[in-house]
Amino acid sequence: MLEVIINGKSRSLSGPVRVSQLIQEMDLLGKRIAVEINGEIVPASQHSTYQLSDGDRIEIVGAIGGG
């Protein structure tokens, strides 16, 4: 069991979880988002391999169009 903070809220995750699994679990698959873990941006190319750790602080933000 992992305890992480996602966008300021505590959340429990079961077993080893990769960023891509978290994105899918949060129903964000296919959306334009940026993921930051412990102050570092995780590129989309690493979402399927980046393993979350107990205590990680995760920020997920959606891209906003404008002009």
Q: Map out the domains of the chain with their CATH numbers.
A: 2-62 (3.10.20.30)
State what percent of residues in the chain have pLDDT above 90.
87
| DSSP symbols for 5-41 | EETTEEEEE-S--BHHHHHHHTT-TTS-EEEEETTEE
Over range 2-23, report the average pLDDT.
96
pLDDT at 63 over 90: no
d(CA 39, CA 25): 22
In the prediction, which pLDDT does 26 show?
95
For residue 59, give the H/E element and its range.
strand 57-62
pLDDT at 67 over 90: no
**Single pTM value for the model:** 0.89
pLDDT at 22 over 70: yes
Beta-bridge partner residues of 35: 42, 60
